[in-house]
Chain A
Amino acid sequence: MTTMVEHIACTFCGCVCDDIVVEVEGSRIAGVRGACVVGRGVLDEYDPEVRRPVVAGREVDWEQAVGAAAAILNEADSPLIYGLSSTAIEAQRKAVKLADRLGAIIDTTSSVCHGPTGLAMQAVGEATCTLGEVRDRADLIVFWGCNPAASHPRHFGRFSLTPAGALTPNGRADRTVVVVDVRPTGSSKQADHFLQVNAGADFEVLTALRYLARGEDVEAAAIGGIPVSQLRDLVRTMKACRYGVVFMGMGLTMSRGRHLNVGELFSLVAELNTYTRFSVIPMRGHGNVAGADQVLTWSSGYPFAVSFARGYPQFGPGEFSAVDVLARGEADAALIVASDPVAHLPRAAAEHLEHIPTILLDPTPSLTASIAQVVFPTASYGLDAAGTAYRMDNVPIPLHRLFASGRPTDEEILDRIIEAVT
């Protein structure tokens, strides 16, 4: 017997689209409607078969695996807890509690996506809004250093380009769309204006825009590869719009300048509020990476790269961030939750995980699972577990349980590890 379930959330990217229709047949998904090409695999490739945990390559029962994980963490002087962006906030809270209990370092995949955005937010603040406001009000959309056509395919249709909103009843016709990037992309093809910036030159372009916005002159003919005439036109468009929104991505956070690039953009957006309404929203990658920032911040005061080694939280990007801690060989054990650092961190950092005892909680197989000492094949939030994820605009979205698989959740396993460590 099949059941159609509506309003299901996809947890792949920061859009957390919660209008998916799923056809459930027992404990498997028989059909998916409404999901995008990059997200639907979360739903229709998921294998809910209950698998036993693994310790040192051998299948064991759950209690033995919890005991093995606790023994590793008790033995460690400087354990690292990392990942967390693809699990629910309920599990993220437990991970912080475990870090506090152990005196561990805790970091999330934020440090390798929008960590620099967090630093910019601390430095200059962030004028922001929700995606609902974007849909209903924004008549100027700027995408800077991001390519939603590849990374957030439904962003255009649900929020930023085509939907009819309260003050944008004609959808795309009511919006001007600008893309700033180092190369033409699927997103730049959708834009009214494409400004191609030289790689690593975002900061000077943003500085020039701030100058032009306050009426100063810029003598150069081009800045960062963009003719100044185009920058003047962009500033005119920005000042003349009714409600402008910038979506920014890894083109700013991963390039030379990092948080300084983002800080310059955030300053520009704040200054544009002298003339009109303007907001910025970071394009968050993983489904609940925004939740990881929220949980870390409300429980420790800091969004990522937090050490509890001294008995109180200390913030240290570059010191307590996962890439640095691993590449310097400082962590002597690791607990990874819902992430695959072996695939996604620079090799010098990833390979350290092969030399220390690594514990993994993850519903799906991964390269990290292949090197981990202890693997817990847990349930997947939004499929066989219920929880909460924060969308890229920090709106919490409920994740429903579609079927019971018998797999424990990340939250339950972390709770049992917390009870087992000394």
Chain B
Amino acid sequence: MGGRLTLITGRTREQAIGMHKGKASKEYRCATELVEMNPDDMTRLRIQDGGLVRLHTVAGEVELIAKAGSLPPGLVFVPMGASANMLVEAETHGTGMPSFKGSEVTVEPA
């Protein structure tokens, strides 16, 4: 059983640069198929920097490369894109805006 954390998604420079090269490009896939985590959370969950992890939310599941980042404990960041959107629920609570930031996510070594 992996740890329950909070997922946020968003823009990175690498994601934008990769997008111009095409969403099938190596640059784009490397930029978007990763999850940044707090290093202490990674140790606690026995996740290696650069290791493959499985993320699971009520919306779906996806496997990404884990990367240590400057995040507070309990928070994980996935760059915006098709991988992140496997995890984002379509419920908008009457606003039109899904929870691109703030979903509960479990993360475990794949």
- Assess whether A215 is interfacial by the CB under 8 Å rule: no
Q: At the interface, yes or no: A254 with Cβ under 8 Å from chain B?
A: yes
The reply to whether B89 and A346 contact each other, CB–CB distance below 8 Å, is yes
Give the complex CA separation of A256 and B92 in angstroms. 10
Q: Say whether chain B's binding surface is mostly helix, strand, loop, or mixed.
A: loop
Docked CA distance A42–B22 (Å): 11
B65 at the interface (CB under 8 A from A): no
Is A137 an interface position by the 8 A CB rule? no
B17, A38: Cβ atoms closer than 8 Å: yes
- Interface contact A324-B102, CB-CB below 8 Å: no
The reply to whether A317 and B101 contact each other, CB–CB distance below 8 Å, is no
Q: Is the CB of A45 within 8 A of B23?
A: no
Q: B75's contact among A182, A285, A321, A344, by CB below 8 Å, is which?
A: A182
Please state if A348 and B89 are interface contacts (CB–CB under 8 Å): yes
Q: Are A147 and B11 in contact (CB under 8 A)?
A: yes
Closest Cβ of chain A to B102, distance in Å, is 5
| CB atoms of A119 and B95 under 8 A apart | yes
Q: Are B88 and A346 in contact (CB under 8 A)?
A: yes
Is A348 a contact of B81 with CB atoms below 8 Å?
Answer: no
- Residues from 57 to 110 in B contacting A, C-beta threshold 8 Å: 59-60, 69-72, 74-75, 77, 80-82, 85-86, 88-102
B-facing mask of A203-234, CB < 8 A → 1, else 0? 00000000000000000000000000000000
Which of A183, A349, A365 is the one whose CB lies under 8 Å from B90?
A349
Q: State A250–B10 Cα separation when bound (angstroms).
A: 8
In the complex, A256→B23 CA distance in Å? 29
Tell me if A305 is interfacial: C-beta within 8 Å of chain B. yes
User: Contacts A37-B13, A199-B101, A347-B86; is A365 near B93 (CB within 8 Å)?
Assistant: no
Interface residue range, chain A: 35 or more
Name B92's contact: one of A37, A184, A324, A365 (CB within 8 Å): A324
Given the known A-B contacts A344-B81, A346-B88, are A255 and B102 also in contact in the complex, defined by CB atoms under 8 Å? Answer: yes
* Cα-based distance from A183 to B8 in the complex (angstroms): 11
Given contacts A183-B75, A255-B101, A347-B60, contact A41 B16 (CB under 8 A): yes
In the assembled complex, the Cα of A405 lies from the Cα of B102 at a distance in Å of: 44
In the assembled complex, B20 has its CB within 8 A of some CB on chain A? yes
Question: For residue A149, which residue of chain B has the nearest CB?
Answer: B13
When the two chains form their complex, are residues B81 and A318 in contact, meaning their CB atoms are under 8 A apart? no
B82 closest partner in A (C-beta): A343
B-side contacts of A153, CB under 8 Å: 13
Query: In A279-303, which residues have CB < 8 Å from any B CB?
Result: 285
Could you list 5 A-B pairs, sorted by A, with CB under 8 Å? A182-B8, A250-B101, A251-B101, A318-B93, A367-B82
